[in-house]
A = this chain, B = another copy of it.
Amino acid sequence: MTTNKLDTLEPLGSLSMTDRVENSLRLYFTESGFKPGDSLPNEQEMAQKLNVSRNVVREALSRLRMLGMIEARPRRGMVIAQPDLLVGLEKVMNPSLLSQDNLKDVFELRLILEMGIAEFLFARKTEQDLNELEAIVASQNDATVVSKEEEIAFHGKLYEMTGNDTFKRFQTLLMPTFDHVFTGYYNQSKKIEIPNPVTHYDLFKILKTGTVEEFRKAMYTHLAVYFASIL
């Protein structure tokens, strides 16, 4: 609890002007109740008000612009924009830079997500979804040993079927990292060579004619090969 509070406390001495201006602007935007489409004061005004150079203001604005929080129309001024939720995550997601701890957490996160989507799948599956999923399963020759691409195709389709676009994109972000960690744990081969007691076809069949409970149980077994390495 107390540590949580301290998380927002940054080492003041190390904060550059740009950092402080960024914070000030964020505060200003929310305090002023700005909504997407509202126009902002120009850079010079901000700089004067904050008593810093226009350079510093621009560096701070550049950050917010990257995240899609503001938009600058050259020679017409800036407006508040509607940031995309995952753009920040996309920008940071770089397996070779992330810490081992973060990578492990991502690894687990995927498992948590896959276990959690059962309800949504059954609530939202359509005939067409099932047909597409069947096509994906049918194209997989060896049912017990699937390639990385086949794995992504099948599970990706499941994420897509949740009807949650953010969720689907989230998966697209996590998958490479997941794979990076997984192959790191096992070996450097490109194939996931572990035979699976519950195949993609099994999962498909249950999703088509079975129940939520059955599906989740099957999915658990299907994922157990990953779980086993960390739980």
Contact = CB atoms under 8 A, between A and B. Distances in A.
A182 interface: no
Interface in A86-120: 86-94, 96-99, 101-102, 105-106, 108-109, 111-120
A96 B30 CA distance: 8
B109 A119 contact: no
Contacts of A98: 82-83, 85
Which of A106, A115, A123: most chain B Cβ within 10 A? A115
B102 A92 contact: no
Contacts of A108: 120, 162, 164, 167
One complex includes copies of this chain to the number of 2
A140 interface: no
Given A85-B92, A102-B84, A18 B97 contact: no
A205 interface: no
Given A109-B164, A231-B119, A97 B114 contact: no
Nearest to A101: B165
A176 B36 CA distance: 20
A85 B106 contact: yes
7 contacts: A60-B62, A85-B102, A101-B165, A108-B167, A112-B113, A115-B115, A124-B231
